[in-house]
């Protein structure tokens, strides 16, 4: 389907935007370059740091792997620019593929500051914020590890704090929560499963109300929700498998992480942070300014635009 689309439309495409280093990406790019000699090609890696430390396996069959690696070399010559989401992955990308030394750049994920400034001229003050631990994602999905956050919150037994989970909910996870409420009815006032929120302003209102934001996924290449949360002054909690966490938090100034298998450590961290209101208060504006300075689209894509439109 993609090749047919390119066959029909390649000459009308100024910039072909592709994701990930896969054999599909390679051949889509090469086909486009064949059809449109003047077209530009941009590849967004969206990759875990650990993946860049491993060999790229396009095929388990040696002859096909050899063929794809030959195509890869030509692909690297044809692309205009390729980006990574954090400085570590950028360094690893250049080390792994020296041919990309002058084509690889940093392009973080980011927020739409124009939309945010229009709809939220100011973020809530510390006094206006509530004792809420927020998480936004696919609630209960296997790759998001929400059981860890849920169990850690229950074990922490936090007085005066609430856990709010926003996003589509897996049926099995909902059943688990329902059973817990039957066994411990008092938790109904402390745990709220909102469900999916498509309206962006309504979603951001949750960020604006909360003080802490947590994702417990075993892996994330970036985690755009962290940036959204920090824009609204949240202190963030994550796991060691999150490739961009150190960069987003400015070397842990705005958050902490734990091993994704250590629920007890997350329990301890929740207790530690929720009893340190001064830390949360001092973080509010600092985290907000971190996002304004580094993770808004008009700044994040400057280097990309320069590469694409340079003469």
pLDDT band at 310 (very low <50, low <70, confident <90, very high): confident
141-152 tens-digit pLDDT: 999 999 999 999
Together in a domain, 74 and 119? no
- Cα–Cα distance measured from residue 20 to residue 29, given in angstroms and rounded to the nearest whole number: 12
- Cα–Cα distance measured from residue 260 to residue 275, given in angstroms and rounded to the nearest whole number: 22
Domain range for 23 is: 2-110+297-309
- Cα–Cα distance measured from residue 137 to residue 308, given in angstroms and rounded to the nearest whole number: 33
Together in a domain, 82 and 117? no
pLDDT band at 311 (very low <50, low <70, confident <90, very high): low
160-210 tens-digit pLDDT: 999 999 999 999 999 999 999 999 999 999 999 999 999 999 999 999 999
51-94 tens-digit pLDDT: 999 999 999 999 999 999 999 999 999 999 999 999 999 999 99
17-30 tens-digit pLDDT: 999 999 999 999 99
Together in a domain, 198 and 232? yes
User: Mean of the per-residue pLDDT values for the chain?
Assistant: 97
Q: Considering the chain, what percentage of its residues have pLDDT values greater than 70?
A: 100
What is the mean predicted confidence (pLDDT) over 280-302?
A: 97
Together in a domain, 73 and 130? no
Q: Are 140 and 172 in contact (CB under 8 A)?
A: yes
Together in a domain, 27 and 122? no
Together in a domain, 162 and 261? yes
Q: Considering the chain, what percentage of its residues have pLDDT values greater than 90?
A: 99
Together in a domain, 189 and 120? yes
Is pLDDT at 281 greater than 80 in this prediction? yes
230-259 tens-digit pLDDT: 999 999 999 999 999 999 999 999 999 999
Together in a domain, 97 and 141? no
pLDDT band at 13 (very low <50, low <70, confident <90, very high): very high
Residue 82 neighbours by CB under 8 Å, 6+ apart: 42, 43, 44, 45, 93, 100, 103, 104, 105
Please count the structural domains in the chain: 2
- Cα–Cα distance measured from residue 68 to residue 264, given in angstroms and rounded to the nearest whole number: 45
Together in a domain, 62 and 32? yes
Q: What is the reported pTM?
A: 0.94
pLDDT band at 272 (very low <50, low <70, confident <90, very high): very high
Together in a domain, 8 and 79? yes
CATH assignment of the domain containing 204: 3.40.50.2000
What is the mean predicted confidence (pLDDT) over 90-113?
A: 98
Together in a domain, 170 and 260? yes
Together in a domain, 56 and 199? no
């Amino acid at each position: 389907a993609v090749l047919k689309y390119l066959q029909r439309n390649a000459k009308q495409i100024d910039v072909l935007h592709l994701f990930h280093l896969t054999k599909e990406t390679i051949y889509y790019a090469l086909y486009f370059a064949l059809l449109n000699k003047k077209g530009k090609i941009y590849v967004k890696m969206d990759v875990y740091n650990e993946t860049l430390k491993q060999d790229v396996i396009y095929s388990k069959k040696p002859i096909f792997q050899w063929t794809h690696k030959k195509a890869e070399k030509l692909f690297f010559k044809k692309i205009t620019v390729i980006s990574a989401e954090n400085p570590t992955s950028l360094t690893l990308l250049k080390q792994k593929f020296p041919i990309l030394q002058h084509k690889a750049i940093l392009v973080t994920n980011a927020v739409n500051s124009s939309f945010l400034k229009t709809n939220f001229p100011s973020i809530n003050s510390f006094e206006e914020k509530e004792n809420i631990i927020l998480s936004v994602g696919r609630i209960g999905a296997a790759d998001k590890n929400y059981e860890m956050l849920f169990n850690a919150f229950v074990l922490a037994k936090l007085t005066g704090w609430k856990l709010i989970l926003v996003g589509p909910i897996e049926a099995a996870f909902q059943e688990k929560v329902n059973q817990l409420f039957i066994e411990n009815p008092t938790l109904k006032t402390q745990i709220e499963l909102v469900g999916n929120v498509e309206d962006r302003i309504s979603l951001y209102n949750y960020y604006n109300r909360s003080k802490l934001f947590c994702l417990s996924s075993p892996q994330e290449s970036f985690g755009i929700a962290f940036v959204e949360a920090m824009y609204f002054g949240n202190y963030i909690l994550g796991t060691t498998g999150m490739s961009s966490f150190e960069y987003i938090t400015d070397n842990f100034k705005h958050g902490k992480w734990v091993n994704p298998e250590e629920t007890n450590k997350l329990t301890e961290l929740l207790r530690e942070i929720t009893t340190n209101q001064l830390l949360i208060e001092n973080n509010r504006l600092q985290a907000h300014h971190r996002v304004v300075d580094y993770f808004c689209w008009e700044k994040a894509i400057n280097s990309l635009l320069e590469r694409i439109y340079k003469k």
